[in-house]
Amino acid sequence: MPRKAANPCRVPGCPGIAVGRSGYCEKHQDQGKYGRKKTYHSYQRGADREWRKIRIEVLRSHGIPQEDWPKYVIDHRPPYDPAIEPDHRNYTLVPMIRGKHSQKTNKFDGGWGNRKKQYHGEGG
Percent of the chain with pLDDT over 90: 21
pLDDT of residue 98: 92
Which candidate, 100, 42, 50, 53, places its Cα nearest to that of 75?
100
CB 76 within 8 A of CB 93: yes
Please write the tens of the pLDDT for every residue from 53-107.
Answer: 999 999 999 999 999 999 999 988 887 777 788 788 888 899 999 999 888 877 7
- Cβ neighbours around 34 below 10 Å, total: 8
pLDDT of residue 124: 47
Q: What is the C-alpha separation between 92 and 117, in angstroms, rounded? A: 20
Please write the tens of the pLDDT for every residue from 24-60.
Answer: 888 887 766 555 566 666 666 666 788 889 999 999 9
Flag whether pLDDT at 4 surpasses 70.
yes
In sequence order, the β-bridge partners of residue 117 are: none
pLDDT of residue 21: 77
